[in-house]
Structure 1
Amino acid sequence: MKIAVICGGNSSEREVSLKTGEAVYNALAASYSDVYCLECKDESDCIEKIMNSKPNIVFIALHGGFGENGQLQATLDMLKIKYTGCGFAQSSLAMDKFATKSILKAFNIPTAMFKLIKKPEDIEDIDFYPVCIKPNNEGSSVGVEFAENKKEAKAVAEKLLKNHHPLIAEKKLSGKELTVGIIGDTVLPVIWIKPKNGFYDYHHKYTKGATEYIIPSQLPQKIENLVQTIAYNAYKAIGCNSYARVDIILENNIPYVLEINTIPGMTQTSLLPKAALAKGISFEKLTKMLVEAAC
Structure 2
Amino acid sequence: MRFVRLGEPGRERPAVIDDHGLTRDLSALAPDIDGAFLEGDGIARTRRALTDGSLPVLDGKGLRFGPPVARPGAVICIGQNYAAHAAESGSEPPTRPVIFFKPSNTVVGPYDEVRIPRGSTKTDWEVELAVVIGRRAQYLDSPEQAIDHVAGYTVSNDVSERAFQLEHSGGQWSKGKSAATFNPLGPYLVPAGDVPDVQNLRLRSFVNGEPRQDSSTSDMIFSVAQLVHDLSQYLVLEPGDVINTGTPEGVALSGRFPYLRPDDVMEIEVEGLGRQRQALAAA
TM-score (norm 1): 0.31
Structure possessing the higher relative contact order (Cα contacts under 8 Å, 6 or more residues apart): 2
TM-score (norm 2): 0.32
Structure number with greater Rg is 1
